């Protein structure tokens, strides 16, 4: 009996050590991804790419520690990695990264794309603010496409924890953004009508 107890204790101590390392190191991954997103919004693309690369390399190193029993501790960091890389692809106009190309689990990929909807809202508002209405509309259309593609996963909330909540948040973000895009379109239409009226009056029509 004692030998079995000692063996169990040793296994648990090793698992606890792996768990503590994962918790600490995944925080570093999340921080790097957050910095990458901030850099992207600031137009610092090279810096953003380097930060995302460092996060990816650190995350890959942790997979041995996570194995199967502790992989749940990887989900949050993988989610952030997906968000950062998806946003970089959107801003640069390149193809959205696949799950396999990022080497992440399906849960992380879905949740990361949903989180990216919030970053897209910020991009839409930024485009509206600088007068790039067409770009804003394109970003908004992408928000809707991501939501529509991922909505069916709401049925699997028990298997992918948090997906329904993130879908609800994404829907609210989309409705808020729709209002802003609609208001901008109305403003432009009114300015166009005023310009046309002014032009007619100037010609004496």
Closest CA to 146 of 176, 126, 119, 125: 119
Q: What is the pLDDT of residues 178-202, one digit of tens each?
A: 999 988 777 766 766 676 666 766 7
Asked, colleague to colleague, whether 1-98 and 105-180 share their fold, the answer is yes
Q: What is the pLDDT of residues 46-59, one digit of tens each?
A: 999 999 999 999 99
CATH top class, domain 105-180? mainly alpha
CA distance 167 to 87: 18
Angle at the Cα of 61 (from 65 to 163), degrees rounded to 5?
Answer: 75
- Does CATH number 3.30.43.10 belong to domain 1-98? no
| Helical segments of 67-162, H only | 75-92, 99-102, 106-129, 133-150
* pLDDT confidence of residue 27: 96
Closest CA to 34 of 15, 7, 19, 54: 54
Q: Is the pTM higher than 0.85?
A: yes
Question: Which residue ranges make up each domain of the chain?
Answer: 1-98, 105-180
* pLDDT confidence of residue 38: 95
């Amino acid at each position: 009996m004692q030998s079995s107890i000692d063996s169990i204790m040793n296994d648990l101590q090793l698992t606890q050590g792996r768990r503590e390392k994962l918790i600490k190191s995944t925080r570093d991954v999340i921080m790097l991804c957050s910095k990458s997103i901030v850099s992207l919004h600031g137009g610092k693309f090279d810096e953003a790419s380097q930060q995302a690369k460092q996060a990816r390399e650190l995350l890959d190193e942790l997979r041995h520690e996570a194995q199967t029993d502790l992989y749940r501790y990887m989900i949050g960091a993988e989610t952030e990695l997906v968000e950062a890389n998806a946003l970089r692809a959107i801003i640069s106009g390149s193809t959205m990264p696949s799950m396999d190309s990022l080497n992440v689990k399906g849960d992380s990929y879905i949740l990361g794309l949903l989180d990216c909807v919030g970053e897209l809202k910020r991009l839409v508002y930024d485009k509206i603010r600088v007068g790039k209405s067409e770009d804003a509309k394109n970003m908004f259309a992408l928000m809707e496409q991501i939501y529509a593609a991922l909505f069916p996963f709401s049925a699997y909330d028990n298997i992918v924890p948090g997906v329904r909540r993130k879908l609800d948040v994404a829907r609210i973000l989309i409705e808020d953004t729709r209002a802003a895009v609609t208001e901008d379109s109305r403003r432009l239409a009114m300015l166009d009508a005023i310009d046309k009226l002014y032009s007619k009056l100037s010609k004496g029509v």
